[in-house]
């Protein structure tokens, strides 16, 4: 079994275990949300700690973002997706500086990405077009679920993209998947709290919003891949 499949299986098991935990122990979500409501200082401190934790995960080359967002979304809601995006945007300059000051680290990340996803035309097209259309290419990397945050920025540095292009691409497209996944996690948490046999309309709508956002991100990803792979209207930022 290749490394990429081991990682995918690990993340899938973590997500499945998390969903099972919330369904078996719904009182955990109830008690935690009640505690945060009654203790606003604790709630603010929790958000700050979660923001710092997300920032730390942005420095690691681990494909765990989706699992973490599902868990935190189930407990505290879609605001976790916003915190994740803020951490992503805030840590990007630091990761970019590491990539430019230590070119070997950036090149290793690029080589590892190409090796682990060898034969995948979609990723190859993104990497090919990033130097011509950095904003679209960076946006595509942010939408690709197989590319963790840190390697995305290191790859951009290795390909010679400017920090401005990295930040604009992240700002335009980086919030979509975190918000969508945390919203899905929130709906899972709400399902665990209801005693009805079937979830009510509000929960169904929340779930549909999250799933629709993910579906839209896939469509946007395909558009960005075609756009960045094209040589027309090339820009350098």
Interval 175-204: pLDDT, tens: 999 999 899 888 877 776 665 555 677 777
Give 11-59 pLDDT, tens digit per residue. Answer: 667 667 766 776 677 677 777 777 777 777 777 888 898 899 999 888 8
Using an 8 Å Cβ cutoff, are 153 and 166 in contact?
Answer: yes
Whether the predicted model's global pTM rises above the 0.75 cut: yes
Q: Which two tokens stand for residue 137?
A: 């290419």
Asked whether the predicted pLDDT for residue 212 surpasses 90, the reply is: no
User: 213 near 178, Cβ under 8 Å?
Assistant: no
72, 125, 202 from 140: Cα distances, Å: 24, 10, 31
Pinpoint the alpha helices (H) of the chain: 3-24, 26-38, 40-57, 65-76, 79-101, 103-116, 121-129, 134-143, 149-158, 163-173, 176-193, 201-229
Count the alpha carbons within 13 Å of 145 in the hemisphere toward its beta carbon: 16
Find the angle CA(135)-CA(130)-CA(113) to the nearest 5 degrees: 120
Contact between 93 and 147 under an 8 Å Cβ cutoff? The reply is no
Q: For residue 77, what are the contacts with CB-CB under 8 A and spacing of at least 6?
A: 182, 186, 189
- Is 213:176 a contact under the CB 8 Å cutoff? yes
Q: Which of 56, 59, 54, 55 is nearest to 69 (CA)?
A: 54
Does the CA dihedral 226-227-232-237 come out positive or negative? negative
Query: What is the residue whose two structure tokens read 């995006």?
Result: 85
Q: What percent of the chain has pLDDT over 90?
A: 19
Q: Give the distance, in angstroms, between the CA of residue 10 and the centroid of all CA atoms in the same chain.
A: 17
Instruction: State the Cα–Cα distance between residues 220 and 222, nearest whole angstrom.
Output: 5
Band of the pLDDT at 171, cuts 50, 70, 90? very high
């Amino acid at each position: 079994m290749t490394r990429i499949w081991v990682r995918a299986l690990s993340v899938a098991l973590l997500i499945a275990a998390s969903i099972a935990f919330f369904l078996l122990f719904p009182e955990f979500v109830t008690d935690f949300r009640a505690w945060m409501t009654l203790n606003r200082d604790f709630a603010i401190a929790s958000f700050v700690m979660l923001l710092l934790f997300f920032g730390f995960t942005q420095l690691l080359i681990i494909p765990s973002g989706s699992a973490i967002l599902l868990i935190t979304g189930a407990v505290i809601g879609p605001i976790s997706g916003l915190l994740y995006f803020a951490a992503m945007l805030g840590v990007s300059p630091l990761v970019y500086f590491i990539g430019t000051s230590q070119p070997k680290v950036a090149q290793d990340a690029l080589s590892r990405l190409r090796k682990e996803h060898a034969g995948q035309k979609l990723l190859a097209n993104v990497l090919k077009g990033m130097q011509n259309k950095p904003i679209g290419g960076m946006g595509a990397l942010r939408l690709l679920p197989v590319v963790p945050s840190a390697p995305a920025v290191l790859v951009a540095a290795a390909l010679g993209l400017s920090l401005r292009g990295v930040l604009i691409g992240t700002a335009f497209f980086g919030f979509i998947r975190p918000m969508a996944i945390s919203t899905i996690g929130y709906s899972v948490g709400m399902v665990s709290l209801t005693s009805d046999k079937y979830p009510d309309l509000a929960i169904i709508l929340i779930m549909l919003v999250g799933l629709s956002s993910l579906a839209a991100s896939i469509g946007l990803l395909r558009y960005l891949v075609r756009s960045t792979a094209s040589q027309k209207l090339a820009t350098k930022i």
